[in-house]
Amino acid sequence: MIFTAELGPLFLVLVGLLGIFRFAGANLAQAASLDVAEGRHIEGSMIGLLWGNNAFFGAFSPLLLGIIIAWFSPPGIDDYRLIFPYAAVVSLLATVAALFLPPIGNPRRASA
């Protein structure tokens, strides 16, 4: 097993940066969803869907990552550095999926 001390301080910095950017992205998504729901009386439902989807898809991510680590690590070693390419691929897939979302426009300007 590879411990954090063996990977060095760079591993700690990378985990911190990954957390900072992923945490900021979640807050931006929540703010954007509330902007879409504003005035429609569905704010609570929108946040529930957002958090529910995060929990649902987040439940499968550790399982998939465990399979990837077990499959691609050298024999007898759990290479946790595979977390970063995994996170990059998941983020890239989410970005590509977001490109195909229909435009919603500005709800405040549409009613004026």
Whether the pTM exceeds 0.75: the reply is no
For the record, the structure tokens of 10 come out as 């760079």
Residue 16 domain flag: yes
Residue 106 domain flag: no
Domain of residue 33 covers 4-100
Residue 34 domain flag: yes
pLDDT tens digits, the chain, 112 residues: what are they?
455 556 677 777 877 887 787 777 778 888 888 888 888 888 889 889 888 988 888 888 888 888 888 888 888 777 888 888 888 888 889 889 888 877 776 655 555 4
The Cα-based distances of 57 to 28, 52, 77 in angstroms read: 18, 9, 27
Number of structural domains, the chain?
Answer: 1
Residue 108 domain flag: no
Please give the Cα distance from 59 to 40 (Å, whole number).
30
Residue 109 domain flag: no
Task: Say what angle helices 83-99 and 9-37 make with each other, to 10 degrees.
Answer: 20
Among 8, 26, 21, CA closest to 80: 8
